Structure 1
Amino acid sequence: MFPGVTITDLVFLVVALLAAGCLTGILAGLFGVGGGTVIVPILYELFRIISVPEEMRMPLCVGTSLAIIIPTSLRSYLAHRSKGAVDGAVLRTWGPFVVIGVLLGSVAARYAPPEVFKVVFIAVAGFSAIRLLFGRDSWRLGNELPKGMLMKAYGIVIGVLSSLMGIGGGQLSTLFLTFYGRPIHQAVATSSGIGLLVSIPGMFGYIYAGWGRATAYPDIAAVQFPLALGFVSLIGAALFIPTSVLCASYGANLAHRLSRRTLELAFGLFLLAICIRFAVSL
C-alpha cells in the first residue's frame, strides 16, 4: 500500500486511468496525435498523489507517455492510411531526422531540471493553439514544403521537442504542414505516422535517461519503481494502452466527418486547456 493512499483512492485512480486511455485513443485518431497531451498531465497527477519526487515526476510522465503512444500511434496511422490521406513522401523525408532529434532530446532528459519539460510543453502547445484558433490562411511560411536542409531541420526540431513533451510529434508536424498550405485533414493523417518515429526511440531513450535514477531516492524506490524501466512506468502503460488502442479508430473516423474549421477549433481549445494546466503547476 502506498503511504497515505486508501483502497478507494487506488480504485478511483485505476478507473480514471482506464477512462483516460479511452479518451487518449479518441484524441489520437481525431487530431493525429499520439495522445501525450492527455497522458502527461494525468500521469503527473497520479505520480504526485503517490509522492514521486518532483525531480523525477515530469520525466517519468514523459517517458511513460512515449511508451503508451507506440500502439496508439500505430492504430491511428493505419486508420488514416486506409483512407489514403497519409503523405508517405513527407514521412520518408522526415523519418531519420525525427529519430535523431528524439535521441538528442532523450539525452537532454537525463540532465534537464523538471521545469524545462513544463516550459517546452506550454510554449509549443500554446503556439499551436494560437495558430489553430486565430490563424488565417495568409499565415504561411510558403505554398510548398521546403527541400533540403530546412526540411531536415524541421524533422530534428520535431523530434527534440516531442521527446521533451512526451508527445507523438503529431501536434508539431501538423503545425508545420499547415504552415505550408497542406489541408488540415492531410496534415493530421500524415502526422499520425510521426508518432511511431518519435515514440519507439523515445521510449528507449527515456529508459536510458532514467536508468539507475531511482536509487537516488532509496526511501521510495521500492514503492514507486518496482515495475519501471528507467523513466518508463510499466504500470502506467499497462493501464492506458488497452483502452487507448481500442478507441483510436473511433477518433480517426470522426476526424473525417468533421469540417476543417471544426477540427481546428477543437484541437486549439484542447491545447489551450493543457497550457493553462501546466502554467498553474509552475
Structure 2
Amino acid sequence: MELIIFLIIGALAGFAAGLFGVGGGTIIVPLLFIVFTKMGYPADTIMHLALGTSLATIVVTSISSLMAHNKKGGVIWSVFKNLTPGMAIGSFVGAGIAGWLSGVHLQVMVGLFLLWVAFTMFKGGKKQTATNANDKTLPSTPKQLAAGAGIGVASAIFGIGGGSLTVPYLTRYGVVMQKAVGTSAACGLPIAIAGALGFMVFGMKAQVTVPNTIGFVHIYAFLGISIMSFFTAKVGAKVAHMLSPQLLKKCFAVLLMVIGSFFLVKGLL
C-alpha cells in the first residue's frame, strides 16, 4: 500500500514538474507530510523528511523534465551556467539551515513563501510576456551567481527545486514563460543534488531514528516517486508547450496558493 501511495505521488509530482518547471516539490512535500504523519513518524522530523525526500526525487524529475524541454529548445544554457554554482552551494547551506529549524517553523515559512510567490506570479500573469527569450536582458554574471545562491538556499529550505523562484526571476527580465520553465527545470538538477546531499548529511548528524532513511531522505519514498515521476514529467512538459504563457502563469499561481494555504494552516494550528 505504501508503494502504491508513493507511485501515485510520483505521477502527480512528475506531471507538475514538466508543466510548471517546479521539480514537483510543491506536490511532493505536502503529500509526503500527510503520508509520513499517517505512518506515525516523530512529529518534529516529518517536515524535514518531506523536504529532504522531495529534493532527492527532484534529481530524477529534473532530468526527465530537462530532456523534454531541451528537445523543444526551452533551455537557455548560458543562464544555466551562470546560476548553477551559486545554486549548488546555496542549496547545501539551505539544507543545514532547514535541519536547524523546527518542523512547525518550516511549515509556516513554506506556507507564507508559496502564498507570496502565488501572488507575484498571478499578478505577473496579467502582464504581456515577451515573445522571444533574450538572455542579454538579464543581469550581469556576478549578479546571476548571487541570485542563484539565494534561490538555492530558499529552495532547500522549502524543498521545491527552485522553480518557484527561478521562473519569476527569469520572466521578470523578459524571458518568455516556456523558456523560463525549461531553464528552471535544468537549474533544478544542481539544486536537488546539493540539497539532497545536505539533508542526508545534516540528518545523519541529527541521528534520525526513522527506519528506511538516510538522514532526512526516505529511501522507499524516493524510489517509488522517482520511478513514476520520470515518465509523467515528459507528459507535463508537452502540455506546457501547448498552453499560452499567461494561462500557464495563472495555473501555476493557483497551485501554489492551494499548497501555501495548506502549510500555513497546518503550521499555525
Q: With structure 1 as the length reference, what TM-score do the two structures score?
A: 0.88
What CA distance in whole angstroms lies between the structure 2 residues aligned with 1:230 and 1:187? 33
Is contact 1:24–1:35 with CA below 8 Å preserved after alignment?
yes
Distance 1:138 1:245, change over 3 A: closer
The residue aligned with 2:216 is 231
1:21 aligns with 2:15: no
What CA distance in whole angstroms lies between the structure 2 residues aligned with 1:191 and 1:65? 16
What CA distance in whole angstroms lies between the structure 2 residues aligned with 1:53 and 1:227? 14
Is contact 1:65–1:167 with CA below 8 Å preserved after alignment?
yes
Is contact 1:133–1:268 with CA below 8 Å preserved after alignment?
yes
Is contact 1:60–1:232 with CA below 8 Å preserved after alignment?
yes
Is contact 2:199–2:217 with CA below 8 Å preserved after alignment?
yes
Superimposed CA distance per residue, residues 163-203 of structure 1 (whole angstroms, 9 cap, x where no aligned partner): 01111112210010111111111100110001101111111
Partner residue of 1:108 out of 82, 94, 97: 97
The residue aligned with 1:190 is 183
Is contact 2:82–2:141 with CA below 8 Å preserved after alignment?
no
What CA distance in whole angstroms lies between the structure 2 residues aligned with 1:212 and 1:152? 29
The residue aligned with 2:243 is 258
Q: Equivalent pairs: percent with the same residue?
A: 35
Q: Output aligned runs, 1:1-282, within 5 Å.
A: 11=1, 13-135=2-124, 136-137=126-127, 144-214=137-207, 221=209, 225-282=210-267
Amino acid in structure 2 at the alignment position of 1:137: K
TM-aligned CA deviation for residue 14 of structure 1: 3.7
- SS for the counterpart of 2:251 is helix
Superimposed CA distance per residue, residues 102-129 of structure 1 (whole angstroms, 9 cap, x where no aligned partner): 1211221231122332233223211221
Is contact 2:24–2:58 with CA below 8 Å preserved after alignment?
yes
What CA distance in whole angstroms lies between the structure 2 residues aligned with 1:259 and 1:148? 30
What CA distance in whole angstroms lies between the structure 1 residues aligned with 2:89 and 2:55? 16
Structure 2: any 5+ residue segments left out of the alignment?
130-135
Is contact 1:29–1:248 with CA below 8 Å preserved after alignment?
yes
TM-aligned CA deviation for residue 130 of structure 1: 0.8
Greater radius of gyration (CA):
1
What CA distance in whole angstroms lies between the structure 2 residues aligned with 1:49 and 1:227? 16
TM-aligned CA deviation for residue 17 of structure 1: 2.5
Q: Give the alignment's Cα RMSD to 1 decimal.
A: 1.9
Distance 1:150 1:116, change over 3 A: farther
Superimposed CA distance per residue, residues 53-74 of structure 1 (whole angstroms, 9 cap, x where no aligned partner): 2211111110011111111100
Q: Say how many residue pairs are matched.
A: 261
Please identify, of 122-131 and 169-178, the stretch whose mean Cα deviation from structure 2 is larger. 122-131
Structure 1: any 5+ residue segments left out of the alignment?
1-10, 216-220
Is contact 2:111–2:262 with CA below 8 Å preserved after alignment?
no
